[in-house]
Chains A and B, each alone.
Chain A
């Protein structure tokens, strides 16, 4: 959102795409830890996680390089800069400690990390009960018109597709999903904010997600290499 980030995005994001080595040098790389000649930028995500299970720090660095930006951006959207950093650290330290929690049979590493991020961010939000965060919370309740495309969008095709898929939803489904996912509200809280029955909101979330699924995942399968 800020110019600073934008500038940074150009350099690093470009490197992430091209997979040129913008190596995240680890302070301890080259220490006593056993190192093997592995070209981590070429390894797929599942191989990275397997290597993380063997305490290969370089594999964690590569996973961070690929997904750290997305994790941070999601945490920041829910919590703001400062706490987004903490969440980002927590998510990757946890991946280091419990890599077996990632099951490649159940989705991509990125989806797994973003789900972890979201869960942690929402937990944090819900701890902020009475504080001045109430205000922030109310501002979150004021819906954004559609998607903040100006924000750091690393892949315009996907972002565009997401935007289109969201815009095709019934407005009430979209509202319920946005309040729950980006506002960190439970569906009951969404229902009370919108003065709608809880059951209705619950069904809208599900119906909306299913519609998004057929729009996004079907497209994903077609376009994926």
Chain B
């Protein structure tokens, strides 16, 4: 079906008024069409207003909800990357991880020295910081603050329009040497590794593609992992461009 026909269905989809076959067609189209996604979001907002009768939250239902919550925090239940493209992803992950590790290694000096204003900052890491500042000034650049729930931990990220991105200052504490911070992009609800940040989440360069909607940092065993195992420490939404 072509865009115009599918776009006609988006409104009915927002009201859950499609049969399953048409709903699947629309869902597939939505993953590639930002305009239809925006239209869907607007319709959903309207539908929510129609359906919003308000009213008090009933405590007895809350009790039943807590009864159904897992007793202890389970490991992060993000879906595992699909096997089909496993080899390729592993390879790109490994390459990206190696690159990020190298950058993070170079960047280590910067965070280490950041508090000591009198001392010159190492050139390669300064290069990252300079590049990040330049990127931040470019039109269309986005600055995102990744935050923990309390806001006590933060990390600043700059994403240039082309997807080149930089991690700048962060308040993440140093990890023991057998652990590393790992950066993830949530891409169609799947976490994809964007690289290792080392024990100090030092300034680093990385890339995000257009599908990434959220950036997250976890702490993982040194060397990194293919899918996150630790809790998300800081995260932030990456609003779509345009």
Q: Of residues B9, B45, B78, B152, which shows the largest number of chain A Cβ atoms within 10 Å of its Cβ?
A: B45
B111 to chain A, nearest CB (A): 24
Contact residues in B for A46 (Cβ distance below 8 Å): 237
A61 lies within 8 A of B62 (CB): yes
A174 to chain B, nearest CB (A): 11
Q: Does A145 have its Cβ within 8 Å of any Cβ on chain B?
A: no
A95 to chain B, nearest CB (A): 10
A67 lies within 8 A of B11 (CB): no
Interface residues in A137-168 by Cβ distance below 8 A to B read 151-155, 158-159, 162, 166
B154 to chain A, nearest CB (A): 12
Q: Does A196 have its Cβ within 8 Å of any Cβ on chain B?
A: no
B150 lies within 8 A of A16 (CB): no
Q: Does B88 have its Cβ within 8 Å of any Cβ on chain A?
A: no
Contact residues in B for A72 (Cβ distance below 8 Å): 55, 57-58, 61
Among the listed A111, A182, A187, which residue makes an inter-chain contact with B18, where contact means beta carbons less than 8 Å apart?
A: A187
B1-37 interface bits toward A, Cβ cutoff 8 Å, 1 = contact, 0 = none: 0000000111110111111000000000000000001
Q: Of residues B61, B64, B69, B189, which shows the largest number of chain A Cβ atoms within 10 Å of its Cβ?
A: B61
Q: Does B143 have its Cβ within 8 Å of any Cβ on chain A?
A: no
A192 to chain B, nearest CB (A): 12
Contact residues in B for A180 (Cβ distance below 8 Å): 12, 15-17
Task: Give the A-B pair count, Cβ closer than 8 A.
Answer: 225
CA distance A180 to B14 in the complex (A): 10
Check A212/B55 contact, CB under 8 A, given A88-B61, A181-B17: no
A8 lies within 8 A of B56 (CB): yes
Tell me if A's interface is mostly helix, strand, loop or mixed.
helix
Interface residues in A34-66 by Cβ distance below 8 A to B read 36, 38, 46-47, 50-51, 53-57, 59-61, 64-66
Q: Does A171 have its Cβ within 8 Å of any Cβ on chain B?
A: no
Query: Nearest CB to that of A40 among chain B residues?
Result: B149
Check A108/B66 contact, CB under 8 A, given A180-B15, A206-B11: no
A180 to chain B, nearest CB (A): 4
A53 lies within 8 A of B55 (CB): no
Check A38/B149 contact, CB under 8 A, given A73-B54, A73-B55: yes
Check A53/B65 contact, CB under 8 A, given A73-B53, A77-B51, A115-B48: no
Q: Of residues B16, B52, B55, B61, which shows the largest number of chain A Cβ atoms within 10 Å of its Cβ?
A: B55
A209 to chain B, nearest CB (A): 5
B58 to chain A, nearest CB (A): 6
Q: Does A11 have its Cβ within 8 Å of any Cβ on chain B?
A: yes
Check A100/B57 contact, CB under 8 A, given A184-B16, A213-B43: no
Among the listed A11, A100, A155, A186, which residue makes an inter-chain contact with B54, where contact means beta carbons less than 8 Å apart?
A: A155
Contact residues in B for A205 (Cβ distance below 8 Å): 11-12, 15, 17
CA distance A86 to B22 in the complex (A): 27
Check A5/B50 contact, CB under 8 A, given A106-B41, A190-B17: no
Query: Nearest CB to that of B67 among chain A residues?
Result: A27
A108 lies within 8 A of B64 (CB): no
A186 lies within 8 A of B17 (CB): yes
CA distance A107 to B213 in the complex (A): 14
| A-B contact sample (6 more), CB < 8 A, given A73-B55, A209-B43 | A16-B56, A64-B57, A69-B56, A103-B237, A115-B48, A210-B11
Sample of 29 A–B contacts (CB below 8 Å): A8-B56, A32-B72, A50-B149, A54-B148, A60-B69, A65-B57, A69-B55, A70-B53, A73-B54, A93-B65, A96-B65, A97-B77, A100-B78, A103-B213, A105-B213, A114-B47, A118-B15, A177-B15, A180-B17, A181-B15, A181-B47, A181-B50, A181-B51, A186-B18, A205-B17, A210-B11, A213-B42, A213-B43, A213-B45
Top 3 A-B pairs ranked by shortest CB distance? Answer: A154-B54, A68-B57, A12-B56
Chain B residues engaging chain A, CB cutoff 8 angstroms? 8-12, 14-19, 37, 41-59, 61-73, 77-78, 147-152, 186, 189, 213-214, 231-232, 235, 237-240
Chain A residues engaging chain B, CB cutoff 8 angstroms? 5, 8-9, 11-13, 16, 24, 26-28, 32-33, 36, 38, 46-47, 50-51, 53-57, 59-61, 64-70, 72-74, 77, 85, 88-89, 92-93, 96-98, 100-101, 103-108, 110-112, 114-115, 117-119, 122, 151-155, 158-159, 162, 166, 177, 180-182, 184-188, 190, 202-203, 205-206, 209-210, 212-213, 216-217
